[in-house]
Chain A
Amino acid sequence: MSFTWPPDLYFLIMLSPINTSWRLARLYLRIADWSLIPLYFLMVVALYGAFLYAPTEREMGEVQRIFYFHVGAAWNCFLAFFGVFLGGVAYLITRKRSWDHLAASCVEVGVVFTTMVLTTGPIWARPIWNTWWPWGDPRIMTTMVLWLIYVAYLMLRSSLPEGETKYKYCAVFGIIGFLDVPIVWFSIRWWRTIHPVVITSSGAELEPEMIHALFVSVIAMTVLCVTLVMLRMAMRLNSSMAEELTHS
């Protein structure tokens, strides 16, 4: 038995020499299955925290409550794109298809979360900044660029024929695209911006109830993100297995 670096989920099923793909898909589905019930209740608690538990912000009013979903979605788009980076690097080292599945699934989920960020942001901005979209703001524009990069990734992926070349190009594209994530994160520190800086190095400038609601919301969205990635990976594995069986 040989072990590879970096280790992947194959180590769990290495003992079985025959047809491991369906086992791996089953493992992903099992992880997603386990997370479903906690996910449901976490999300209900997150909604309760955002709408009923957290106090109304003095200056912004009720519209500030969108912040609990906006921040949760932003955190998870970074997490998903880190998955793309990780999957890309691991694929280039090991050439194992499971890493490409991880990267592709993370892009899809990451684009969904980034879309959430880019829609909740303007809904909040309209009454607060009196504009839907401040074009000169670095945080907003770098996030838009991030969304465009990974939409381009999906377009590249769907336009190339199946094979090693496609997985290699996508891995490289995913890794380079990830360079925008630290730029988005630091944009509010590097450049002049009107985007609020709520979480600083000295902590969050929020009421304790607001911190609790934000914390639960971020946890709930993280579990949702992991569940969706696992489900997409299982779907991709099932689909590639069906293709292999058709050609065999």
Chain B
Amino acid sequence: MTYLFFGYVVIWTILFFYLVFLMRSQKQVNDKLKALSETLDQHD
């Protein structure tokens, strides 16, 4: 069972880093939207 354990740990680690990547990219999108809405508010 040891090989299955390590196999799944590797798969989970890859999935985990994909989650981290998604989280980071959403934060960047959120920051850009915030800046954009503030700019639009100033123009109004």
Chain A residues with CB under 8 Å of chain B are 18-19, 22, 25-26, 29, 32-33, 36, 39-40, 43-44, 47-48, 51-52, 62, 65, 227, 231, 234-235, 238, 241-242, 245, 248
Contacts and interface: CB of A to CB of B under 8 A. Distances in A.
A227 B19 contact: yes
Contacts of B16: 36, 39-40, 43
A236 to B, nearest CB: 10
Contacts of B8: 47, 51
Contacts of B22: 231
Interface of B: 1-2, 4-5, 8-9, 12-13, 16, 19-20, 22-23, 26-27, 29-30, 33-34, 36-38, 40-41
A32 B23 contact: yes
A22 B19 contact: no
B2 to A, nearest CB: 7
A40 to B, nearest CB: 5
A242 B33 contact: yes
Contacts of A231: 19, 22-23, 26
Contact of A36 (B2, B20, B40): B20
Contacts of B1: 51-52, 62, 65
Contact of B12 (A25, A44, A52, A238): A44
Given A19-B41, A241-B37, A51 B30 contact: no
A44 B9 contact: yes
Q: Which of A18, A29, A227 has the most CB of B within 10 A?
A: A29
Contacts of B12: 40, 43-44, 47
What does DSSP make chain B's interface, helix, strand, loop or mixed? helix
Contact of B29 (A33, A227, A238): A238
Nearest to B5: A51
B34 to A, nearest CB: 4
Nearest to B1: A51
A118 to B, nearest CB: 20
A36 B1 CA distance: 26
B40 to A, nearest CB: 6
A32 B23 CA distance: 8
B42 to A, nearest CB: 12
Nearest to B44: A248
A55 to B, nearest CB: 11
Contacts of B30: 22, 25-26, 29, 234, 238
Contact of A238 (B5, B20, B26): B26
